[in-house]
Structure formats: structure tokens, C-alpha cells
Copies of this chain bind each other. A is one copy, B any other.
């Protein structure tokens, strides 16, 4: 018995020592990042805010991190995924309402003329979004969007858009969550649309998706079963100044960390960094035409209509000490499916 007891004790001690050694070994939480100021900023932020002996320690409940989606967590070119969805939904909408076939902008979309479609005005796009995203129940919308997402493929990578997420950002999401941060998507895209896949794609549950959102109307179907109808009434345009407004509406706390890639994210980052204590502000710069796209203004890159990382934003970032992430030099790997 004594020998047996001793053996158990030695075993228990060995287990304890191994666990402690593993913890102190500190395996790299961001293996797809090259060493540099961006990676260092993330690690320093997490270490500082989770170290109880540090005066800049942040209590777990206040650990909120917000992420723009298009261009920050996944590819936004050649078009936002949701815009492609809406354009491809037009034939089904016209089938249900044939009178739309002769009306703009539906006529142009049905023509399939990509050049003409690229010239559609913002007002035209709003009409298309309203027609394709509202007028059905929340449940029907979810089922439709899910079906489309499973079938759709990006023209360049020949993969579903849901696979075109940036591996380095997926690592940041996981690293923050492992350190007690609640991760939120704060997107100009549709809240209901992003909720359909956010959990599967990013590990972000529906209640942590903040997006552009319309009203719903509660009612009953013929069998008396309640349902929520998606209405063409905008509650919040979650872009630019709408992002801090959406954060207050949906979260009610100022984030500690914010990630974006365009002028639409500027106010979210300003709001985040205006709070006291340690804050992290990061902007993804698309400067890698070979592995992804290059459309930032800096370093002489051509500007772009979508996801505008303008020179003014770049100057603002420099002035305020926001960290610019260079896809080209900061990211060792961009996609999980590439070596």
C-alpha cells in the first residue's frame, strides 16, 4: 500500500509539473503572423489587459473586442458577398412579382450585363436590397441564405466565400476569446445575413453580430403560428457613425479593441480608443495583389470604391497610433487552405 501510495503521489506531482511546464512554454498564439509591430501590438495588449498585477488590467466582463467583417475578416472583392447574394436573388423576386421585370434597377440586373450592373447607383442598390432582403419571415430568410451560401463560389478561388476568411484574423479571434474577450462582428452588412454563418465561420454566435438592421413585424400565419416578418424599414445603418451607435444599441459597452479596414470603421475605432485605459486599434491594409488584392492608398497603391482605406484614414491612423496591418508583410499565411 505504501509503495502504491507513493507511486500515485509521484505521478500526481509529475502531472502537476508537466501542466505547469506546458503553461509556461507559451506556444505561439498567432502562428500565421510574421514577427513585427502588428503581432507585437496584439500580444502586448492581451498580456497587459489580462495581467492582474498590471494597473491596466481589464476585468473579464469588460473585455469586448469588435471586428468589421468585409475586408477585415474575409475577402470583400470583387463584391461584398451579400451584394452578390442580393443580385442573384433578383430572378426569384421577379418570378414572384413579374411586373418588376420591366422596372429599373431589376431590368438591368436581369440583363446580366456586368458593366451596367457595376454602374448601378446607391439608390438602385437600396431598392435591390429592400426587394431581396425583406417581405419574408425571418426563418424563411435564414433558410434561403443558408442554401445560397452552401452553393455559391468565389470566381477567383473557386471556393465558397465562407472559406475566404483570413487565417491570421481567425487566430486573433481565438486568442482574444482564450483570454476572456467577447468577440463581436460589427458590420455594415446585414445583421440577419451575417448571423446565418457567423457561428460556423468565426465561432461568433448570432447575439454577437451587430449589423445594418431593419425592423421586423410580429404576426401569425394561417395556422395561428407566430412569425416575424422582415420589413423594408431601416432601424440602423451600421457603417461609419452608425458603428458606434450600433455598438451602444447592441452591446452597451465601449469596446477595448477594434479592428477594421476602411473609412467605414473610423468612428468605431475613434470611439474605442476614446475610452480610458489600454485600447487596441488596428486597420488591415490590402497591399498584397499577389496573394489577395491591393487597393489601399498607401505606398502608391491605387484607390478603390469598395473598402476605401483612404490616404486620410492612413494619416489618421499614423497620427493616433492605430496599428496598420500590412497583409503583405505581417501575414505569413492568408488562407487556411493555402500552404
Q: Which A residues fall within an 8 A CB radius of B?
A: 1-3, 5-6, 8-10, 12, 61, 138, 182, 191-192, 195, 199, 205-207, 209, 213, 215-218, 225-226, 228, 235-236, 241-242, 244-245, 248-253, 267, 270-271, 274
Contacts and interface: CB of A to CB of B under 8 A. Distances in A.
A209 B250 CA distance: 9
A242 B241 CA distance: 26
Most buried by B among A2, A9, A192: A9
Contacts of A9: 5, 8-9
19 contacts: A2-B2, A5-B10, A8-B9, A12-B12, A182-B207, A206-B253, A207-B207, A207-B251, A207-B252, A209-B252, A216-B245, A216-B249, A218-B242, A218-B267, A225-B274, A226-B270, A226-B271, A228-B245, A235-B249
Contacts of A192: 252
Nearest to A208: B207
Contact of A215 (B3, B5, B244, B245): B245
Contacts of A6: 1-2, 5-6
A207 B244 contact: no
Contact of A61 (B205, B218, B253): B205
A8 B9 CA distance: 7
A231 B141 CA distance: 31
Contacts of A253: 205-207
Contact of A245 (B3, B218, B249): B218
Does more than half of chain A's interface fall in helix, strand or loop, or is it mixed?
A: helix
Contact of A195 (B1, B236, B242, B252): B252
Given A5-B6, A206-B251, A218-B241, 19 more contacts: A1-B6, A2-B2, A5-B5, A5-B10, A6-B6, A8-B9, A61-B199, A182-B207, A191-B252, A206-B253, A207-B251, A207-B252, A215-B245, A218-B267, A225-B274, A226-B270, A226-B271, A228-B244, A228-B245
Contacts of A241: 217-218
B267 A226 contact: yes
A13 B148 CA distance: 55
B61 A271 contact: no
Nearest to A246: B216
A138 B248 contact: yes
A106 to B, nearest CB: 28
A252 B5 contact: no
A244 B6 CA distance: 61
